[in-house]
Structure 1
Amino acid sequence: MTSPSDTTVAFIGLGIMGGHMAANLVKAGYDVIGYNRSPGKVEALVEAGGRGASSVAEAVKGADVIITMVPDSPDVEDVAEGEGGIFANAKSGAVWVDCSTIRPDVSARLAEAGREAGIRVLDAPVSGGEAGAKEAKLSIMVGGEQADFDEVRPVLDAVGTTVVLVGPAGSGQTVKAANQLIVAGNYELVAEAIVFLRAYGVDTEAALKVLAGGLAGSTVLDRKGASMLAGQFAPGFRIDLHHKDMGIIIDSARAKGVTIPMGALAAQLINALRAQGDGGLDHSALLRGVERLSGQKVSGE
């Protein structure tokens, strides 16, 4: 791939994650043209030095690399297919990198449809939350062809620090499902630990500090421990989206006959939190669910 200044990147989906990712590509010197259903997000990219588009078709026309970051499988399919989509409007040979988190089978199908349309496709979901997107420190798990991965690696390196090809089309989404399984369990156990510590009158801030330095340490503790203690749950990644991801995990595990009892429990706890009206909060709000079950004052209320 040529230098960043000679590479046009179309970025579709400028939300909590996508907006920061697109801005970091601008900082890295890429010519970035963005589209989002909410015009304000496009305006923010323009203010950061990018260009704006009024449609998917306009954004992808002439782009060398196309990146999508939208909520769910149907959204990705809508962006890719149809008269106004990527396949009908992108130039032949362009590389489409889907950073959304969707079903692995949908990614594999779209990769095949892309080949038929002359578009090379990589599924490349990310992990790291809003902070990782803002700091360009995302972990990116990629499925697709080695040659296509090698070509767009510099683009991905501009938004992430751990960028790994994990297998053929759909593999990135499978690894992301495993990631979300681990993250859900981690958040739930951190939440339970906080409630447990508080019940015994322990200095929870000091407790989390020492826990983070031992085998119990995790990125969840490092990035979210303080905000959980403070009852701050502004969404970096919403419960609603993690609920969607847990559905992908449950369905995918069932399809292969894999038993995930802890994952199934985490999925039910996340579902319960949505039913209680917390779907728009950050997934660290699992703390609120544990507090309710324990009959304690609910953080943030």
Structure 2
Amino acid sequence: MASLHGAVSSSEIISKSAQNREASMRIGIIGLGRMGTALATRLHGCGHDLVVWNRTPEKARGLIEGGAVLGETPVAVVNKSEVIITCLLDASALEAVFGGDQGILAAEVNGKLFIEMSTVQPKTQRALAERIAAIGGGYVECPVSGATGPAREGRLIGLVGGSPDDVARARPVLEQLCRRIEHAGPVGSGASLKLAINLPLVVYYQALGEAYSLCRHLGIEPERIVDLFSDTSGGANILKTRGAMIAKGMRGDDPQPVTFDVDSFRKDLRTMLVEGAERGFSLPVTERALSVYDEASQQGWGARDGTSLAGYWSGRSAARSLDERQDD
């Protein structure tokens, strides 16, 4: 029994460890970018045996040293796993991993469950689900809301699309990764929600930069500005969770550690615009935000954390204002 002070007894630890071993699975993880590595770290900590693959094997080193098995190809990962998680950059990366002689679809797929966690268009998810179903596999999409820190702690929000049966199969794994699982409907539904949820956040970083441009001349510390905004109707939840990084970005510094960089946000913005166009409507605010993100990337900000954008526009505006005054 836990003590009154919240300490955990050795018997509880042993019991929990035994439960983890009893419920452990052989999980394949394909794609070891920042998020893929965080997901793998979490699942390894939950007692699962991992088989991992990445296009650049060096990124798997830490996981291998921790006990994961390196699969030489996506085929090898699938053949050695019960559940396979993919977390990749875009549709092209997914096709490279699913297709080809050594791709997922060339493996023994029948009866296995795939959990696809990339941020792509709904049609991409539906097409992959159809290809997996045609050879006997189960398929659930689960793009997530949250950064690498919450991923390592099992506090993501899972935006799930799939059949009730496949989602029920995936739920034990997803519950170890997510604090909330939102089953939105069939495959493709999760992707739609993910794009919708990401859009206000990406636009907000630009809006915050423009807002800071209007008060930067006051000389108020960025930390104080962030705290003030978070306490008003002009605040967003991100100010409470990542306020320190945003303030650092406002100073013009490079927020660290990088969890989701500017170029990745550009990819998401482009995906939103394509999805909107295919559904017959425009996204003018998104389109304008993308132009600023593109400009920031061209100025060398592409690899910076997305929170840095709160400082990009205000810094750019201040520099141009100074140049104009000097010209006068």
Same fold (TM over 0.5): yes
Contact 1:197 1:204 (C-alpha < 8 Å) held by counterparts: no
Alignment partners' CA distance in 2, 1:4 and 1:169: 30
Partner of 2:93: 75
Alignment partners' CA distance in 1, 2:180 and 2:156: 7
- 1:4 CA displacement: 6.1
Alignment partners' CA distance in 1, 2:247 and 2:282: 33
What is the one-letter code of the residue matched to 1:23?
T
Alignment partners' CA distance in 2, 1:271 and 1:203: 28
Contact 2:239 2:246 (C-alpha < 8 Å) held by counterparts: no
Report Cα offsets for 1:91-147 as digits up to 9, x if no partner: 311111111111221111111111112111122111212222233211111111111
Change (3 A) 1:241 1:204: closer
Partner of 2:42: 24
Alignment partners' CA distance in 2, 1:200 and 1:94: 59
Change (3 A) 1:4 1:91: farther
What is the one-letter code of the residue matched to 2:291?
Q
Q: Does residue 236 of the first structure (1) align with residue 259 of the second (2)?
A: yes
Report Cα offsets for 1:132-167 as digits up to 9, x if no partner: 223321111111111111111110111121211111
Partner of 1:295: 318
TM-score, normalised to structure 1, is 0.91
Partner of 2:141: 123
Partner of 2:290: 267
Report Cα offsets for 1:238-272 as digits up to 9, x if no partner: 11111111111001111112232221211221122
What is the one-letter code of the residue matched to 2:215?
L
Alignment partners' CA distance in 2, 1:109 and 1:259: 24
Contact 2:114 2:139 (C-alpha < 8 Å) held by counterparts: yes
What is the one-letter code of the residue matched to 2:224?
A
Q: Does residue 215 of the first structure (1) align with residue 233 of the second (2)?
A: yes
Partner of 2:242: 224
2:303 to 272, 280, 286: 280
Q: Show structure 1 runs of 5+ residues with no match.
A: none
Partner of 1:249: 272
1:146 to 160, 164, 178: 164
Alignment partners' CA distance in 1, 2:237 and 2:108: 38
Within 5 Å, give how 1:3-42 maps onto structure 2: 5-42=23-60
Percent sequence identity over matched residues? 28
Alignment partners' CA distance in 2, 1:93 and 1:233: 44
1:44 to 62, 68, 92: 62
TM-score, normalised to structure 2, is 0.84
Query: Which deviates the most, 125-134 or 146-155?
Result: 125-134
Alignment partners' CA distance in 2, 1:21 and 1:4: 20
The 4+ residue runs of structure 1 with deviation greater than 6 A are none
Contact 1:185 1:263 (C-alpha < 8 Å) held by counterparts: yes
Of Structure 1 and Structure 2, the greater helix share is in 2
Alignment partners' CA distance in 1, 2:129 and 2:200: 27
Q: Between Structure 1 and Structure 2, how many residues are aligned?
A: 296
Q: Secondary structure at the match of 1:184?
A: helix
- 1:83 CA displacement: 1.9
Q: Does residue 55 of the first structure (1) align with residue 77 of the second (2)?
A: no
Change (3 A) 1:84 1:137: same
Contact 2:73 2:103 (C-alpha < 8 Å) held by counterparts: no
Report Cα offsets for 1:263-299 as digits up to 9, x if no partner: 12112211221222211111122134313441349xx
Alignment partners' CA distance in 1, 2:206 and 2:289: 7
